[in-house]
Structure 1
Amino acid sequence: MRGGMSEHAGDPATEAFVTYRNLLFTVAYEMLGSAADAEDVLQETWLRWVEVDLDHVRDPRAYLVRTTTRQALNRLRSLKRRKEDYVGPWLPEPLLTTPDVAEDVALAESVSMAMMLVLETLSPTERAVFVLHEAFGLGYDEIAEAVGKSRDTVRQVAHRARKHVDARRPRKAVAPSEVRAVLASFQRALETRDFQGLVNVLAPDVVLISDGGGVKQAAVRPIVGAEKFVRYVLGGIEKFGADLAAEPTTLNGGPALVMRVNGEMDGILACHVADGRITGLYFVRNPEKLTRVAEETVLTLG
């Protein structure tokens, strides 16, 4: 895309697109859960944008968000079919995020692994409506134009999606400092193979979801229960004789760990914490999903 944009450098269309690019990427990413697909959506949006007569565009931001939403909806429907053929559980593509994302509570929640997984349970239209209304604050009229539905239909869809998400979203926001402290205890126990230490930092009904994409070994079903998880992880380390290390980082607006085996990055581990214990673990090993964890991605709701 950068090559195509450079050809139009200095013109109003390029300046407007560059101004709102981070916003458009965030919209597409929250709808798709995939940075690679979000970039493709931006490419499609750009190609349509340069063909527009700007004299007839009253609000470039609104126009670009609508176009991005339509392209993301089209891709979301095809992505849904791809996920049906995916090997094992599917997790969102993690992003190394800038420090300001963690400071913005609304943004951090909207792109967290836990929330992105909840959004996966919505239909494409429900997801688009929920993201645009709840995360980006768009009105029903603007959303209706973006998704090709009536205002009344959009309002009904928004109500249904919000009810669905509220029943599944984390009940209480936890300060990043508390999550970091819990993760540090988890890291120490993991690196020292401390069985009881790991059990103590996990909620009894903790759930591990691991994504290897059929490329890397991963549990084909979620693992539920603290002791079951610990046996699974420590058993795997012992079986393969791996030198395991963890490195703190910030992914999707929250504390996480980069997991290294024999010095090489093996995956990333994000988590959800409640009442001082880890209740959810999200382990991404699929190499195709680890391309955005070394360089920061700028996200914004504005």
Structure 2
Amino acid sequence: MNSSLNFNSLIKKMFLKVDWEAVIQHVASVVFQLVLLTIVLLLINWIGKKIIRHIFKTGLRKSKRGISPKKLDTIYTLVLNIFKYILMFFWIYALLSAIGIPVGTLIAGAGIFSLAIGLGAQGFVSDMVNGFFILLEQQISVGDTITVNGIDGQVTYVGIRTTQIQSIDGTLNYIPNRNITVVSNKSRNNMQALMEIPVASSNPFEEITKIINQINENLNLAELQLTVKPYIVGFSNQPDGTLVIQIATYTKPGAQFKAKNVLLERYLTAITDAGIELPK
């Protein structure tokens, strides 16, 4: 009983020795500093984003520097990302400093550096370096249609750590930059559209080729974004034994799918209207 009273008395004395007014003032000062810092950084973030947006969306787009819109969008998202990380770093640094943690000493300590490497900083640095070279070599830009690691889709975002690719079905894929090793970019060169029309050995090949050539001669190349007028490649045997006539053309990047569907429909409709029955 006496030991319990002595312990309570000791706690009471320690409690009374604490300068609670100073503690409250210190806590209030730290909270005030953090609130003020947060407001200032949010204001800088708002102003900085408006300036960056104005530079890229208005200034550079109207300039005569010859920079493509896709490249501008890519650099714009990257600059916004870097700006965000810089502000976040300063906020965390100020937060730790305000509560009395010696950030500079911790960063300089070899033990903390090794711990950071072990916890994933190595992967973060690898993402940054690989992302830098992807942009430097202009491998991809926002809006490009690419294939990476078996994923097909359109690039919607290129950041410091990750690249986002939206698949045809709408799925948004986040790929760490260090995992991007082989990029198949389908938006840089003219793309081939290959049409195949199944035929039977009893079909009149000369009449079929004549119909195809007539359609090709009357095409509006600009409407279908064709860069080369369609031409008959020849005949080909498929693995199942089917005989097909192959017609090829080249289109602007991304227009090959629509061109293929439109041309194939026109060929088949014209052949059918001529009374030629094709194998199914």
TM-score (norm 2): 0.22
Name which one, 1 or 2, has greater alpha-carbon Rg. 2
TM-score (norm 1): 0.21
